[in-house]
Amino acid sequence: MTETPKNPFEAMMAQAQEMAKALNPALESFSPKGFEALWPTMPKEVMDMMFGNTVNKDGLDAKTRLLLTLAGLTMQGAQADTAVRQTVRHALAAGAKKQEIVETIGQMSVFAGIPAMTRAMDLAQEVMDDKGDDET
């Protein structure tokens, strides 16, 4: 006898896992954390093109757009771990300095609160520690 999930989200996840196993047995050991590795960063030129500079030449550059995205993710309580880490990776690739990333997250403490800022800072620090350079 299988244990029944305790809440609707757990039931939905259990059902999705069962479906994935039925479609492809290799998915039995799948972890969503692997998504992050699929697209570590994209070139700055691609970001500029995708984020609007092709249509609006005088618009925001990719670095600024990514720092704004990071601010928005922090405002949401930094609940989307993968999105925060990906945005930090992309911002670094677009030329953002570590200090700019820290300031962007820190600025959001006024609006999102200290817990959200701390969570976003922890996630960003994971990426910046992995980066390994001392650029500030």
Is the pLDDT assigned to residue 132 strictly greater than 90?
no
Predicted pLDDT of residue 59: 78
Domain 39-131 belongs to what topology?
A: AhpD-like (1.20.1290)
d(CA 1, CA 122): 41
pLDDT tens-digit profile of 48-69? 666 666 666 777 888 888 999 9
User: What is the pLDDT of the chain when averaged over all its residues?
Assistant: 79
Is the pLDDT assigned to residue 103 strictly greater than 70?
yes
Tokens of 10: 């757990």
Cα–Cα distance list, 32 to 37, 50, 135 (Å) = 10, 25, 31
Q: What's the pTM? A: 0.65
Predicted pLDDT of residue 91: 92
d(CA 27, CA 57): 43
